[in-house]
């Protein structure tokens, strides 16, 4: 029985963050300032608050400026939009990220649409989504970008490989499919209504699972030697009463008997998201300043 390799996203992300940091001094010297990332957090969602703290820490460690705006969960749509407009106009800010999810009374689509596409480091604006779809220069959503980096690091050239993306969200599934198409993969988008999903997955050289269902993809669904990127983060009951644990969308222990490589949960895709956010902020800063994109990022 073969044993697959665990892809160390944490180590790759640390290397990427380090590479991003090496470009900051030259930008600072050329522009008289460091690249700046502004994060807007609405409310007190514990998971979002932890994530925002992690982003701020990573931004500062890379030598970039971190601007945080923390708002009460009853903030009005108008007040939130005013802050976005203020950040759009601030030359010290190269990237704007409004932490999702937002409270129910806020129209998140309107907020995302209000962000200057040149500062949309989440890659969620329809302008960036459209540019990605037609193969033009765009700011790409961080999670699928990180997935692609891990795939290329492990497999090298992806051209001609059969890829299945499970999940069709605007944040992961759709942009992931676009990125794989640009790498000349043959791409199938699968989802909750796909007929005989098991058979679809079984033919894939690459599987990217981002459907949000704990361990839905079983080990025997996977083609021997396949490379699996597990984007899922699901909290399930742990071995001890009252304890929980994190699992992905793929049954990792089962999958290791079949696949060539798989990202673990946690420690796989998660760290790549923040690293790619820093990368996007640096790229946005370079483009706004009329400087060429940093090489190798």
pLDDT tens per residue, range 71-89: 999 999 999 999 999 999 9
CATH assignment, 141-270? 3.40.50.720
Give the Cβ contact number of residue 33 at 10 Å.
15
- Between CA 107 and CA 151 the distance in angstroms is 35
Give the Cβ contact number of residue 86 at 10 Å.
12
| Domain positions in the chain | 31-117, 141-270
Q: 240 or 181: which carries more pLDDT confidence?
A: 181
| Per annotation, catalytic residue among 116, 120, 122, 249 | 122
Enumerate residues 6+ apart whose C-beta is below 8 A from 61: 17, 21
Given this model, what pLDDT does residue 44 score? 84
Topology at the third CATH level for domain 31-117: Rossmann fold (3.40.50)
| Structural contact between residues 144 and 168, judged by C-beta atoms closer than 8 angstroms | no
* Mean pLDDT estimate for the chain: 95
- Between CA 144 and CA 141 the distance in angstroms is 6
Q: Which two structure tokens, joined as six digits, stand for 117?
A: 């596409």
Mean pLDDT on 252-269: 96
- List pLDDT tens digits, range 23-37: 999 999 999 999 999
| Per annotation, catalytic residue among 94, 99, 119, 223 | 99
Mean pLDDT on 39-59: 90
- pLDDT band for 244, please (50, 70, 90 cuts): confident
Enumerate residues 6+ apart whose C-beta is below 8 A from 42: 71, 72, 73, 75, 80, 98, 99, 102, 103, 106
Over 90: is that where the pLDDT of 45 sits?
Answer: no
Q: 47 or 14: which carries more pLDDT confidence?
A: 14
Residue 55 among the catalytic residues: yes
Residue 31 among the catalytic residues: no
| Per annotation, catalytic residue among 55, 119, 174, 223 | 55
> Within 13 Å, how many C-alpha atoms sit on residue 162's CB side?
11
Q: Which two structure tokens, joined as six digits, stand for 138?
A: 């765009």
Over 80: is that where the pLDDT of 241 sits?
Answer: no
- List pLDDT tens digits, range 108-166: 999 999 999 999 999 999 999 999 999 999 999 999 999 999 999 999 999 999 999 99
- Between CA 7 and CA 269 the distance in angstroms is 9
- Between CA 168 and CA 35 the distance in angstroms is 32
Over 60: is that where the pLDDT of 1 sits?
Answer: no
Given this model, what pLDDT does residue 287 score? 98
DSSP 8-state secondary structure symbol assigned to residue 141: P
Over 70: is that where the pLDDT of 2 sits?
Answer: no
Q: Which two structure tokens, joined as six digits, stand for 230?
A: 């597990």
Q: Which two structure tokens, joined as six digits, stand for 268?
A: 């796989």
| Structural contact between residues 268 and 250, judged by C-beta atoms closer than 8 angstroms | no
| Structural contact between residues 245 and 238, judged by C-beta atoms closer than 8 angstroms | yes
Quote the percentage of the chain above a pLDDT of 70. 99
Q: Which of 296, 287, 290 is nearest to 121 (CA)?
A: 287
């Amino acid at each position: 029985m073969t044993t697959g390799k665990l892809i160390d996203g944490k180590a790759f992300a640390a290397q990427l963050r380090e590479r991003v940091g090496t470009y900051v001094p030259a930008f600072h010297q050329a522009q008289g300032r460091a690249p700046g990332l502004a994060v807007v957090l609405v409310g007190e969602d514990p998971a979002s608050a932890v994530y925002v703290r992690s982003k701020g820490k990573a931004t500062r460690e890379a030598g970039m400026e971190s601007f945080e705006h923390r708002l009460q969960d009853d903030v009005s749509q108008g007040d939130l939009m005013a802050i976005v407009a203020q950040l759009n106009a601030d030359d010290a800010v190269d990237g704007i990220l409004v932490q999702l999810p937002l409270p129910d009374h806020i129209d998140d689509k309107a907020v995302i649409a209000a962000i200057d596409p040149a500062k949309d480091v989440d890659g969620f604006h329809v302008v960036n989504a459209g540019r990605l779809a037609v193969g033009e220069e765009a700011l790409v959503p961080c999670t699928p970008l990180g997935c692609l980096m891990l795939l290329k690091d492990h497999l090298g050239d992806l051209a001609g490989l059969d890829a299945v993306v499970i999940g069709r969200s605007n944040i992961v599934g759709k942009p992931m499919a676009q990125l794989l198409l640009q790498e000349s993969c043959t791409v199938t988008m699968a989802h909750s209504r796909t007929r005989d999903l098991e058979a679809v997955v079984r033919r894939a050289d690459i599987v990217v699972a981002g459907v949000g269902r704990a361990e839905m993809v079983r080990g025997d669904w996977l083609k021997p030697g396949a490379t699996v990127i597990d984007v899922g983060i699901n909290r399930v009951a742990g071995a001890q009463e009252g304890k929980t644990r994190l699992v992905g969308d793929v049954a990792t222990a089962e999958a290791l008997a079949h696949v060539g490589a798989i990202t673990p949960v946690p420690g796989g895709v998660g760290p790549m998201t923040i690293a790619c956010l820093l990368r996007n902020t640096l790229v946005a800063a370079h483009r706004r300043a009329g400087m060429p994109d940093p090489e190798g990022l």
